[in-house]
Amino acid sequence: MTPSLRLVQSQRQTLAMTPQLMQAIKLLQMSNLELEAAVREEVDQNPFLTLSPRGDGRVAPKRDVSSSAVPLDPFATVAVRETLADHCRREIVGLRFTTKERAIADFLIGSLAPDGRLPPDTQDDTIVALGVSPADVAGTLAKLQTIEPAGLFARDLAECLALQLQARGDFDPLAERVIENLALVAKRDVRRLADVCQASEAAVIEVLSRLRGLDPRPGLAFDNTPLVAIEPDVIVRRRAEGGFIVALDTQRLPRVLVDSDYHAEVTAMGNQTATSFANQCMRSAHWLTRSLDQRARTIVKVASAIVSRQRAFFEGEAQHVSPLTLREVAQDIGMHESTVSRVVSNKALASPRGVFPFRAFFAVAIDAGDGAVSAEAVRAQIRRIVDTESATNVRSDDEIVQTLKNSGIVIARRTVAKYREAMNIPSSVERRRMARHDGFGSVGSRR
């Protein structure tokens, strides 16, 4: 068949990411402090925008979660150390992420444990919450594991040590075999390690000296960073007749005013160039104000859904939050999961129980016999059981399973072992050995 050129007409639907839409998305995932900086930049560039002083008595978007409200003292700003998540977000600026990869990266950063590792179920949670493939998560994770300090985003201790050796260029086959046998490393059984790794004791000792120079918990290095203030984006107040009222903290929100009179003066001059510029700036100003209003209402919707779903926690009836996913909140408010994911990023909520990041209210569910409980609640129970052990009563994983069953949580032994290892709690054999050698103390809290 002879090749030929043809003109074909077709129709298709695509989502065009206009600059205005991109701006709205960025505003949605900003914290109040970031939002203020972004708005000030827009005001500096747009002659028809001005900032109104805070505390002008305007009414903020709010919702009842259930009727006069009980007045509360203003929530004091809580000073905490700069988070590991903030550091990671700065580090990934130079990495090239697609829109999908950036959403995955934000989710993984928000899931980091204080020691810099990812909890056991994080990859599965990411796949379910964002609707992405395992390959997408694996590719994004590989990029995140390249940031400093080395060892962040590891899924266990072995991977954490391997990442640090790789960053130093010291990760050889013998080091890999030694890291695969960390149980023997903990026992300092050099002879057995040498046999298992098929190497000389001198070579094994050299690898062990390299391991001693590594940091098993690189995320904790940020404990000594300067204090920064966390300002809550949303305030939750208890109502006299039950339930809660959820409102934005307007004292910390910038209020933007559009100067229509000045726009009219400019266009009345009759200068075509000035009029074109003025109209463009006015369109940008109106889009910004609409985006800010939509951001405020969306945040309140998400916060209200969280409070409604976690009512037992806010009422003080539950020690830990209930299982909750981004999809459930998205279904409650009629929005996409990606929108909810952007809202919970960098946002904090002040309540009678304290100040919490939005993401703290999302917990993976596990089947516990009569019903589902959050993985965080199960981990806390395991930690409590181990912390109350005595030198003569160290519980095995089977005994922990039975103790949990007595309290209404029915899970498998392998689940207990998985969570115990994720919290760096030694096995019962190791805890007994530690108790015999250097006094029991708080063996369950050893790392």
Taking Cα atoms as reference points, which of 143, 80, 81, 82 lies closest to residue 108? 143
Q: Which residues pair with 349 in a beta bridge?
A: 234, 356
CA–CA distance, 7 with 314 (Å, rounded to integer): 63
Q: Which helix (H) or strand (E) holds 430?
A: helix 428-438
Nearest CA-CA partner of 281 in 58, 91, 48, 114: 48
Q: Is the pLDDT of residue 102 over 50?
A: yes
pLDDT at residue number 445:
40
Q: Is pLDDT of 103 > 80?
A: yes
Per the structure block, which two tokens stand in for 393?
Answer: 């009563």
CB atoms within 10 A of CB 123: 18
Q: Residues 423-442: what's their mean pLDDT?
A: 66
| 90 against 137, higher pLDDT | 137
- Strand-pairing partners, residue 374, are 365
pLDDT score at 433: 72
pTM over 0.75: no
**What pLDDT does 70 receive?**
34
Cα 241–Cα 246–Cα 247 angle in degrees, nearest 5? 130
pLDDT digits (tens, 9 = 90+) for 256-275: 888 888 888 888 887 888 88
CB-neighbour burial class of residue 57 (10 A; exposed 0-12, middle 13-18, buried 19+)? exposed
* pLDDT tier at 370, thresholds 50, 70, 90: low
| 8-22, 73-87, 137-151: range with lowest mean pLDDT | 73-87
- Kindly compute the dihedral angle of the four CA atoms of residues 368, 371, 377, 380, in this order, to the nearest 10 degrees: -40
Q: Which residue has the higher pLDDT, 48 or 368?
A: 48
Percent of the chain, pLDDT > 90?
2
Q: Amino acid identity, residue 336?
A: H
Report pLDDT for 63. Answer: 57
Q: What is the pLDDT of residue 304?
A: 92
Residue with tokens 């904790």: 220
Q: pLDDT grade, residue 318 (50/70/90)?
A: low
Distance of alpha carbon 123 from alpha carbon 88, whole angstroms: 18
Pairing assessment for the beta strands 372-374 and 365-367 based on DSSP bridges = antiparallel
- Which of 92-101, 224-233, 353-362 has the least mean pLDDT? 224-233
Instruction: Give me the chain's average pLDDT, please.
Output: 79
Phi-psi label, residue 302: left if phi above 0, alpha if psi -120 to 50, beta otherwise: alpha
Q: In the predicted model, is pLDDT for residue 47 greater than 80?
A: yes
Q: HSE on the CB side for 396, CA within 13 Å? A: 4
Strand partners, 365: 374
Question: In this model, does residue 65 exceed pLDDT 70?
Answer: no
Confidence at residue 301, expressed as pLDDT on a 0 to 100 scale: 92
pLDDT the model gives residue 371: 58
Find which of 242-251, 403-412, 436-445 is predicted with most confidence, using mean pLDDT: 242-251
For residue 149, whether the previous peptide bond is cis, meaning omega lies within 30 degrees of 0, is yes
pLDDT band at residue 54 using 50, 70 and 90 as cut-offs: low
- Which pLDDT band holds residue 71 (cuts at 50, 70, 90)? very low
Q: Is the pLDDT of residue 279 over 60?
A: yes
Q: b/e for 154-172, b at 16 or more Cβ within 10 A? A: bbebbbbbbbbbeeeeebe
Note the pLDDT of residue 91: 83
Question: pLDDT digit string (tens) for 109-142?
Answer: 888 888 888 888 888 888 888 888 889 888 988 9
Residue 207 has pLDDT above 80, yes or no: yes
Give the pLDDT score at 302: 92
Report the alpha-carbon distance of residue 204 to residue 262 in Å, rounded: 77
CA distance 184 to 74: 54
Measured in degrees and rounded to the nearest 5, phi and psi for residue 238 equal: -80, 140
For 22-147, strand residue ranges (E) read 49-52, 62-65, 78-81
Q: For position 196, what pLDDT does the model report?
A: 86
Q: Quick one: what percent of the chain has pLDDT higher than 70? A: 82
What pLDDT score does 90 carry?
81
Q: Which two tokens stand for residue 363?
A: 């917990």
C-alpha span between 280 and 128 (Å, rounded):
42
pLDDT, tens digit (0-9, with 9 covering 90-100), for 375-399: 777 888 888 888 888 777 888 888 8
The two structure tokens encoding residue 310: 């976690």
Burial of 311 (0-12, 13-18, 19+ CB in 10 A): middle
